[in-house]
């Protein structure tokens, strides 16, 4: 997706060989026009599938997932990282480790929102080591839902997450796949 790649090159900041900061349009401030295009692109890439639910994780996956939901008319369910008084029981839960934040969180989704009748598309902002996606896959599996694939806004293709998912036979569609962040430069796979 050229529009996204251009935005990454223009506004993204390489903080290290493994960290790309995109908070001006994806992780803190959200560019709604770009998110609209991202939602449409995911809809096009998965137009051969019947999607009944979109599953993501709070918080940066919510914007692209919601735009996709708007395009295809499917509800968006997001896994919460923190328990609340209104989300205390009747849950699917999984543990997810964030290498960026160096912390492990238990993520949860109410059993009311995922079922064996669902065809689920998982959406997330980044794919690096695949921990968040693995947690979401675990939750979908607990619900006995059918996962039709994974949509990623930015994949760090130089890390193992995408490869491990594809080796498991999971369809992964990444809108921008980064080959390297070496020397402060973003290089994409073709």
**10 annotated as belonging to a binding site for a ligand:** no
**156 annotated as belonging to a binding site for a ligand:** yes
3-state SS, residue 12: coil
Closest CA to 55 of 144, 130, 4, 119: 119
Angstrom distances, CA of residue 30 to CA of 23, 33, 182: 8, 9, 26
**130 annotated as belonging to a binding site for a ligand:** yes
**183 annotated as belonging to a binding site for a ligand:** no
The rounded distance, in Å, linking the Cα atoms of 57 and 79 is 5
**131 annotated as belonging to a binding site for a ligand:** yes
The rounded distance, in Å, linking the Cα atoms of 134 and 95 is 9
Q: Structure tokens of 70?
A: 């708007």
**20 annotated as belonging to a binding site for a ligand:** yes
**128 annotated as belonging to a binding site for a ligand:** yes
Closest CA to 99 of 160, 147, 174, 56: 160
Question: Which residue ranges are tagged as binding site for xanthine?
Answer: 20, 27, 156
**Binding site listing:** 20, 27, 128-132, 156
Binding residues for 5-phospho-alpha-D-ribose 1-diphosphate: 128-132
């Amino acid at each position: 997706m050229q529009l996204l790649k251009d935005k990454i090159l223009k506004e993204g900041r390489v903080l290290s060989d493994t960290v790309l900061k995109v908070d001006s349009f994806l992780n803190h401030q959200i560019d709604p026009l770009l998110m609209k295009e991202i939602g449409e692109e995911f809809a096009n890439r998965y137009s051969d599938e019947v999607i009944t639910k979109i599953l993501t994780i709070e918080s940066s996956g919510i914007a692209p997932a919601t735009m996709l939901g708007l395009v295809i008319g499917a509800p968006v369910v997001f896994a919460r990282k923190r328990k609340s008084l209104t989300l205390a029981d009747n849950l699917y839960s999984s543990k997810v480790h964030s290498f960026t934040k160096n912390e492990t969180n238990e993520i949860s989704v109410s059993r009311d929102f995922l079922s064996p009748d669902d065809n689920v598309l998982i959406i997330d902002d980044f794919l690096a080591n695949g921990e968040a996606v693995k947690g979401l896959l675990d939750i979908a599996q607990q619900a006995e839902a059918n996962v039709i694939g994974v949509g990623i806004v930015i994949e760090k293709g130089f890390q193992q997450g995408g490869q491990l998912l594809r080796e498991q036979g999971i369809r992964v569609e990444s809108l921008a796949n980064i080959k390297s962040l070496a020397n402060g430069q973003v290089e994409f796979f073709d």
